[in-house]
């Protein structure tokens, strides 16, 4: 039969797409259904019909999958934060491992992949040390905060997120009460008017230090001392700032940070290394798993103390400083100047003198230092953004001929593509392991070790 929009069909979900949608067939026609899980028998309504496939909305779970669990969050389906909270955690780990393996096979052409078991969490909730809550007005004129619904800028009111630090709820209540009591307006994206745009909260899981930063469409907060008086009652409060963002943009943070109370940063540890974190710093959001991820990268690097290591896309030096504990010398390269300032400050904070940092593109900095100073690489570590390594960067790695390349990836599709490039030019994949940094979501990090083939 020919399926059309608004038809309601019964579908057995046989697979899940990379972004967590359930996949099933109705009369041989493939359907993608959000919130449906492998093993579910569901009733779904067709929303969009293409030539060979379509998208449908989950209406009813007729027979639940054996891996279906009750989500902790009451607004799980509306909120865009989690995609697979209704899937049992062990099944989530299997899904992520399958996703990584599938990308390596399909995109990379690797048939015999030495993947080690995925690194999961003992407690896959309340793991995020950072949260950014948009602020707005609901239909009844009340100030609300929460998270955006999937693929929209409509705020789902929610102050209790099961992924964030538990103190977040108390902080949000304090800010909302302050805004209502002193008539502090919420920003309106449509008109560009209103003051408070976002509430950014960062928590040091090891240090216990807390940062609250209000992103404002203006230069200051009215009655700021009243807000400070309430926030400093919360144990661990260390930094209260405003971030100035007066632009009509979807970018959350502006460039200027103004101190209201305390310091402009908090500190936290990953292993033995202390990091200074400002509102603008990039810092991994899951400190428990970050330590496991970096320890895996360090194990793969197999440093004996005499190696020169290059860390490309080094950010604020998180991996560089970890590597510096075992290497002779580490050189970090990053295109963002502010991140390199943070990296140098973090090296000084930890009395690490065998790490140097350079601003620029890896493909430019590496050859220059190689030619001018004779600096080579025994080991190269890369941790690129989601789009993967720039091809010129990969070319440079091949030219530098390091014995080992450790690739840390937040997208196994671009990882597979880049590994293929390197393996066609003298390298082979020796080890690989996924690490679940983002439980309840479809995202997964992967570490891979490549070694030079004997010539």
Cα–Cα distance between 318 and 345 in angstroms, integer? 12
Residues 6+ apart with CB under 8 A from 40: 12, 13, 22, 61, 63, 64, 65, 68
Q: How far is CA 335 from the centre of its chain?
A: 19
Tokens of 212: 């609250």
Parallel, antiparallel, or unpaired for β 427-435 and 115-119? Answer: parallel
Question: Which is nearest to 235 in space by CA: 214, 260, 210, 259?
Answer: 210
Residues 6+ apart with CB under 8 A from 287: 129, 205, 206, 268, 270
- Token pair 């899980």: residue: 37
**Which residues are registered as beta bridge partners of 216?**
196, 244
Q: How far is CA 51 from CA 3, 4, 45, in A?
A: 10, 11, 17
Strand order, beta sheet including 445-452: 115-119, 427-435, 445-452, 404-409, 379-382, 308-312, 329-334, 355-359
For the packed helices 391-400 and 412-423, what is the interaxial angle rounded to 10 degrees? Answer: 40
Cα–Cα distance between 303 and 186 in angstroms, integer? 52
Q: Do residues 429 and 448 make contact, with C-beta atoms less than 8 angstroms apart?
A: yes
Tokens of 451: 């070694």
Respond yes or no: is residue 410 known to be catalytic.
yes
Find the catalytic residue in 82, 393, 410, 423: 410
Question: Which is nearest to 446 in space by CA: 401, 388, 378?
Answer: 388
Cα–Cα distance between 428 and 449 in angstroms, integer? 8
Question: Which is nearest to 95 in space by CA: 387, 437, 436?
Answer: 436
Largest CA distance in the chain: 73
Q: Do residues 449 and 423 make contact, with C-beta atoms less than 8 angstroms apart?
A: no
Active site residues: 410
């Amino acid at each position: 039969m020919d399926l059309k929009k608004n038809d309601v069909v019964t579908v057995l979900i046989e697979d899940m797409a990379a972004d967590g949608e359930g996949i099933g067939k109705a009369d041989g026609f493939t359907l993608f259904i959000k919130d449906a899980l492998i093993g579910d028998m569901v009733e779904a309504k067709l929303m969009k019909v293409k030539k060979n496939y379509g998208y449908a909305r989950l209406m009813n779970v007729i027979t639940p999958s054996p891996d279906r669990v009750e989500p902790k969050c009451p607004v799980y389906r509306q909120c865009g934060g989690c995609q697979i909270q209704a899937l049992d955690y062990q099944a989530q780990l299997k899904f992520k491992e399958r996703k990584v393996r599938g990308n390596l096979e399909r995109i990379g052409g690797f048939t015999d992949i030495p993947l080690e078991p995925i690194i999961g969490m003992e407690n896959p909730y309340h793991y995020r040390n950072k949260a950014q809550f948009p602020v707005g007005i609901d239909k009844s004129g009340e100030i609300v905060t929460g998270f955006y619904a999937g693929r929209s800028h409509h705020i789902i009111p929610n102050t209790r997120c099961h992924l964030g630090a538990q103190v977040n709820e108390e902080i949000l209540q304090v800010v909302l009460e302050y805004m209502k009591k002193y008539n502090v307006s919420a920003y309106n994206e449509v008109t560009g008017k209103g003051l408070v745009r976002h509430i950014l909260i960062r928590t040091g899981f090891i240090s216990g230090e807390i940062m609250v930063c209000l992103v404002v469409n203006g230069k200051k907060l009215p009655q700021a001392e009243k807000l400070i008086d309430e926030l400093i009652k919360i144990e661990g409060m260390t930094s209260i700032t405003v971030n100035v963002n007066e632009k009509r943009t979807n970018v959350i943070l502006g460039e200027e940070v103004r101190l209201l109370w305390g310091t402009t940063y908090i500190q936290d540890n990953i292993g033995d290394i202390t990091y200074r974190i400002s509102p603008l710093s990039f810092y991994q959001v899951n400190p428990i798993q970050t330590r496991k991820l970096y320890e895996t990268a360090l194990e793969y690097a197999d440093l004996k103390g005499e190696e020169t290591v290059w860390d490309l896309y080094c950010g604020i030096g998180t991996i560089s400083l970890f590597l510096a504990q075992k290497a002779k010398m580490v050189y970090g390269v990053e295109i963002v100047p502010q991140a390199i300032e943070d990296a140098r400050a973090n090296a000084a904070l930890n009395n690490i003198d065998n790490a140097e940092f350079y601003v620029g593109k890896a493909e430019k900095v590496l050859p220059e230092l190689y030619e001018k100073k004779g600096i080579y690489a025994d080991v190269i570590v890369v941790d690129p953004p989601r789009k993967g390594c720039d091809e010129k960067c990969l070319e440079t790695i091949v030219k530098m001929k390091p014995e080992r390349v450790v690739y840390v990836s937040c997208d196994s599709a671009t990882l597979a593509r880049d590994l293929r490039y390197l393996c066609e030019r003298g390298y082979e994949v020796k080890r690989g392991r996924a690490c679940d940094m983002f439980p309840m979501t479809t995202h997964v990090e992967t570490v891979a070790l490549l070694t030079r083939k004997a010539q």
